[in-house]
Amino acid sequence: MSTTLNNKKPDIIGVLDLQGGVHEHLDHLRRLGIKTRRVKQKTDFDDLAGCIIPGGESSCISRLLDIFNIKSSLLKACDKGMKIWGTCAGAILLAKKIVGENACLGLIDIEIERNSFGSQLNSFQTEALIPAVAAEPIPLTFIRAPKILKAGPEVNVLLRIDDYIAAAENKNILVTVFHPELTGCIALHRYFAVKCGLIPTDSKYAYSDPQWQNSSWTQLARIA
């Protein structure tokens, strides 16, 4: 690879494409005008500004990281400055401590408990104000969601609800226990793009896309 390419600032956000809500995240990023990449193998981490670990089944994604031998590549990319955002199952994988289980990636000093709200039938929607993310309340979708029970001193809590933390971050990692990709709101995807250095901090974007529909992401699934 030439020196020019090596010095090029990363301008792509990848979505870990092993299992879970991959297409929905890709759809939201593209609405922001962000270049995207499906991440399935080691070389897919090259030159990424950020990577999203989507919601899905955390133990399944953890096993697939080992089966496809890409966990070390993800960790190395993070060491080099790649930002990572984990939603729901992704947050579990990034946690330093998981109640009753061994940690997977351990990249953010939080203690998390899976399925804290109960079964699939206990899934729900609500809204909350996250001042660092948007100036108005944003919709939140919880599906068999975990709860963040504790956060270390170097972790910035973005959203606390009742007795648990719903969103938090450190320098390189963002975690949310809900699913921002399942609503028309692009505020958190914009926030992550800012964290990755791809959008100016003071840029102005609408928080919701009036053209978004629940089926919008299916156009990406058809060309997967």
Q: Closest by alpha carbon to 21, among 41, 5, 38, 33?
A: 38
Active site (annotated) includes residue 88: yes
Active site residue 154: no
Contact 50, 14 (CB under 8 A): yes
User: Quick check: is 28 catalytic?
Assistant: no
DSSP states of 61-88 as a string? HHHHHHHTT-HHHHHHHHHTT-EEEEET
Catalytic residue among 23, 25, 28, 179: 179
> Which entry of 181, 185, 189, 196 is annotated as an active-site residue?
181
Catalytic member of 51, 78, 88, 104: 88
Residue 149, CA distances (Å) to 13, 52, 113, 130, 134 in order: 29, 22, 7, 18, 24
Tell me which residues are annotated as active site. Answer: 88, 179, 181
